[in-house]
Amino acid sequence: MNENLQKLRKIVAKTFRRAKHWYLAYVIWQFAILLLAVVSIFTELSPNLSAMIAFVCVLAAEFIRWRSDCWKSEGERAKRKWEITDGLGTVLEGREIADWLAARPRNFLNDVSGDEIQGSLFDSGQPKGPRRAIENTQESAWWSRHLSRRMVIYLVFLLLFVLIIAFAGLTISIGTLKASNVQQSGATVQNIGGIICAVLVFVFSINLVRLLADFWGFSSESTDILRRCAELLRSPDITDRDALCVLHDYQTARNAAPLIPTLVWKCHGDHLREQWEQFRPKGK
């Protein structure tokens, strides 16, 4: 049983890591497309070649994003099993893990570090049952709320930076129109306008605005889950149904939310860990 739980925790860590790596590759690929678009503004490419390059780039981007979504789905499925097993103490079937690992290479889980597994452990000291499941959900929702809020702040600054760059480019193009050389200024304005369009397309292609909205929504959902968990923990009688309802709602919100980058967790993990120990001291 313990061996199966250890494998399940490794599967959670490995699948989410793969999903984040594929999403990073997606963002890098979109940035490469942006650079290609900027280069094409200053060079003369035939329409047929441009169309072929655009077609290949779009197919590659969709494939990379699809791989990220597939790994995220695998990770969510494994994490749901882990949360129910750790909280309510349900029996974990070893054959399910064996079937999943049979479709992967032999050494698929060998590179999972202890720090990655640590992220899926819970601090609750309660025995297996509905109260422990709710405390686990409370802990997950607390971390999700604060990490999502930080992602919202970062994305707001990034969006403002892009808008400032676009506005500066537009200002330069307007100033160029007032120059004496009309032919040269017209070409400059056309090039700057093309770059601005390419940057705005890049912003929407990586779903920057949607990511901001999704992280904000996930933070709000996590806040509501925390409120419900606090109400249930004050009750002397908690049923499995109560625990499963709040856990299901949290898992649904998390499944619809974007993945939080590991770098954000590393930057703020120590500080948040200190605050979490104040929020719910061990032994309580």
Residue 182, pLDDT > 60, answer no
Mean pLDDT value across the chain: 84
* Per-residue confidence (pLDDT) for residue 282, from 0 to 100: 64
> Binning pLDDT at 50, 70 and 90, where does residue 141 land?
very high
The identity of residue 235, as a single letter, is S
> Binning pLDDT at 50, 70 and 90, where does residue 116 land?
confident
* Per-residue confidence (pLDDT) for residue 16, from 0 to 100: 94
Q: Determine which of 46-55, 97-106, 110-119, 128-137 has the lowest per-residue pLDDT on average.
A: 46-55
Cβ neighbors of 166 (< 8 A, separation 6 or more) are: 196, 199, 200
* Per-residue confidence (pLDDT) for residue 147, from 0 to 100: 95
Q: Determine which of 67-71, 149-153, 280-284 has the lowest per-residue pLDDT on average.
A: 280-284
Spatial distance between the Cα atoms of 236 and 239, rounded to a whole number of angstroms: 10
> Angle CA(239)–CA(129)–CA(7) in degrees, nearest 5?
135
> Binning pLDDT at 50, 70 and 90, where does residue 179 land?
low
The label of the residue with tokens 């309510």 reads: 88
For residue 232, the number of C-alpha atoms closer than 13 Å in the C-beta half-sphere is 25
* Per-residue confidence (pLDDT) for residue 172, from 0 to 100: 65
Cβ neighbors of 91 (< 8 A, separation 6 or more) are: 85
* Per-residue confidence (pLDDT) for residue 277, from 0 to 100: 85
CA 14 → CA 11, 201, 219, 267, distances in Å?
A: 5, 32, 25, 20
9-47 tens-digit pLDDT: 899 999 999 999 999 999 888 888 777 776 776 676 676
Question: What's the average model confidence in pLDDT over 256-265?
Answer: 91
Residue 181, pLDDT > 60, answer no
**143 near 118, Cβ under 8 Å?**
no
Residue 240, pLDDT > 70, answer yes
Cβ neighbors of 145 (< 8 A, separation 6 or more) are: 219, 222, 223, 226
* Per-residue confidence (pLDDT) for residue 170, from 0 to 100: 65
* Per-residue confidence (pLDDT) for residue 180, from 0 to 100: 47
Spatial distance between the Cα atoms of 266 and 262, rounded to a whole number of angstroms: 6
